[in-house]
Chains A and B, each alone.
Chain A
Amino acid sequence: MVPTPHATLAPLLARHAGRAHELLPLLHALQDSEGYVDPAHVPAIAAALNLSRAEVHGVITFYHHFRSAPPPATVVQVCRAEACRSRDGEALVAHVEAATGARIDGEPCQGIGVESVYCLGQCALSPAVTINGELHARVSPTRFDALLAATREEVAHD
């Protein structure tokens, strides 16, 4: 069951009330349960933590991890850092764009979004990607196609 925003937010606000330094744990908990941080929640969060709305908005937008809109059904993250670049990581990016129809860091296509990530700690096994949070290393274009097909099948079964 997907919790309603109010049901998720209320206990979080109660737990962190008056503790401005706990803004990040609050945002993490919110995003973990709802998939993103709805900008509509900003005033309530600001009031509970005794912060300005600008401060809360500033934190949400400063950190790459936080989303202000629901994520697509499937999220593909491709590492763009040096170690992955040294093993045709950028060619893999082009392949992922072609295979999904989505532009990297752009609009999703048919429920698949493609995002840049900077280092997944798999630098000895590059290039690395995640698909819906699952980590894969030494990803060739062929292997990516197989992984994506398996994910599509899972999504179709759900």
Chain B
Amino acid sequence: MTEISGMRAHRVYVPRDSAALALGADRVAAAVAAEAAKRGIAVDIVRNGSRGLFWLEPLVEVQTPSGRIGYSNVQASQVAALFDSGWPARAIQDGEREMAPVDPHGSWEAPMPDCVGRVDAIPYLAKQQRLTFARIGVTDPLSPTDYEAHGGLAGLRACLALDAEAACQTVLDSGLRGRGGAAFPAGIKWRTVSRAEASQKYVVCNADEGDSGTFADRLIMESDPFVLIEGMVIAALSVGASEGIVYVRSEYPHAIAMLEAAIGIARREGWLGADVLGSGRSCELRVAKAAGAYICGEETALLESLEGKRGVVRAKPPIPALSGLFGKPTLINNVITLASVPYIFAHGAQAYREFGMGRSQGTLPVQLAGNIRRGGLVELAFGVTLRTLLDEFGGGTASGRPAKAIQVGGPLGAYLPSAQWDLPMDYEAYAAVGAVVGHGGVVVHDDTADMAGLASYAMEFCALESCGKCTPCRIGSTRGVEVIERIRRGDTSTRQVTLLHDLCDTMVSGSLCAMGGMTPFPVRSALEYFPADFGLPDGAKRAEAA
């Protein structure tokens, strides 16, 4: 509690990430301020980021001596009644009360907000291993004081003591692989850019997260933007770049506004600019707004877009690390990759490496989405299974019906049936069954899902978003929709099914980038695991393939 004009003010947290806002958090904050003023109760409202426990949003917290006590699903219309019941002073007693387990429903139509007790004791949160997301929901995203008080800048300070070679080695030793989906070892990329000879180099953050089921990038940008800024400055200093650009999707106006505000603050604080933390080294950052093309999440299409052109994929080589933006060596990493870096520098490569399994080291922010009761962000070391995520964290489907298929890794990821939900989440284990971990997006579908319809949609989406440069993707996707629709209409002859497989083979082998090259993943998995949805007998696929 803080002192406001001699009176003890209750510190109340009302989140401001776009998920909380989409459920009315701004109106809740206004209602709390208005009611408190009306009743002469001193409150100090902090607009923190979301904890990522979205089924509880808007999750309002009150600071008490025994921790932050949460109230879930608060609606503006309920705030007066809350105050009538003795709130926010009531939180002190509520915090000492034995809490029933959190209601997994967390119905947003509940008549009164539920007290969920001490927020950091909620099992969903307590069981996580939050390294990258340690601060989200805890701090005010635009408070530099909060940021430093919670461990911010320790990574950048450690980096400033290292030369470029040692800094790149740190990333290499941590085992960090790109969290954007392709999973390429980050340290190798950093070292390639670092060793390239050039008068100008760039660091580009790919924040064009357009995969359905993924919101980890958005959550970082909206709830802890300084960690991304710190990661980008570390990256720029390590590879010898003095300019960084964050390319953010236009569908995320709130994330763009938060990042721009945070960059302004970081510059004023001397974390950016001509003299980073008094080191005499310089680094400038800016935000570039994308324009609604999914393909620009592909790194070379993104570079074209930054150069002011249509987002058409470039053939590789040359790789962007050697010839990227305006032909200069360019380090391109995704938001979570860069946001993971401050922890690695602050705590050491070994500390990060202690999490994970095999060649998948560190933590993966898993995003539980779709038809799930407790949707949200779960950061855990690699190796967790979908079944654990679905049952223990997610609490099963939102509809209460049995889950049928889980798509992992975005629209280009495979649909996994129940038989594969015990696989450990690990890049290699997934690749072995034709699946991808990707960006860690997990979208659950219940038994009412029409998998043939979803397969058709996968092709349709590719047709809509293809950049058009290569034939397999541009034309194959349109033909894909047609063939699947013929099968769905009842033409289940061998010819159509064989044609679809041939088409998928051509797209996989002949496409220039992952858009066309991976669209067959959801299609083939739907066909293989759920043939009945296509009107095909079980095992039809294997018979055709034989």
Contact = CB atoms under 8 A, between A and B. Distances in A.
28 contacts: A23-B308, A24-B291, A62-B310, A63-B291, A63-B292, A64-B291, A65-B293, A66-B291, A86-B444, A87-B370, A118-B294, A121-B19, A121-B209, A121-B214, A121-B218, A122-B18, A122-B22, A123-B212, A123-B213, A123-B215, A123-B441, A124-B54, A124-B215, A125-B23, A125-B55, A135-B22, A137-B19, A137-B22
A68 to B, nearest CB: 13
Interface string B195-218: 000000000000001111111001
Given A82-B213, A119-B210, A124 B369 contact: yes
A6 interface: no
Contact of A82 (B212, B288, B399): B212
B445 A86 contact: yes
Contact of B251 (A24, A49, A117): A117
The 7 closest A-B pairs by CB, nearest first: A124-B375, A81-B212, A123-B369, A63-B291, A65-B292, A64-B292, A137-B22
B212 A118 contact: yes
A39 interface: no
A62 B307 contact: no
Contacts of A83: 212-213, 369-370, 443
B457 interface: yes
Interface string B300-333: 0000011111110000000000000010000000
Interface in A29-79: 49, 55, 58-59, 62-66
Interface string A121-158: 11111101000010111100000000000000000000
B537 interface: no
A143 B13 CA distance: 26
Contacts of A66: 291
A120 B288 CA distance: 18
Residue picked from A19, A63, A119, A138, most chain B C-beta under 10 Å:
A119
Contact of A123 (B289, B294, B375, B465): B375
Interface in B348-390: 367-372, 375-376
A59 B309 contact: yes
Interface in B427-467: 441, 443-446, 449, 454, 457, 461, 465
Nearest to A128: B22
Nearest to B251: A120
Residue picked from B254, B308, B411, B441, most chain A C-beta under 10 Å:
B308
Contacts of B372: 124
A125 B308 contact: no
B21 A135 contact: yes
A119 B255 CA distance: 14
A20 B291 contact: no
A28 interface: yes
B19 A122 contact: yes
Contacts of A25: 288-289
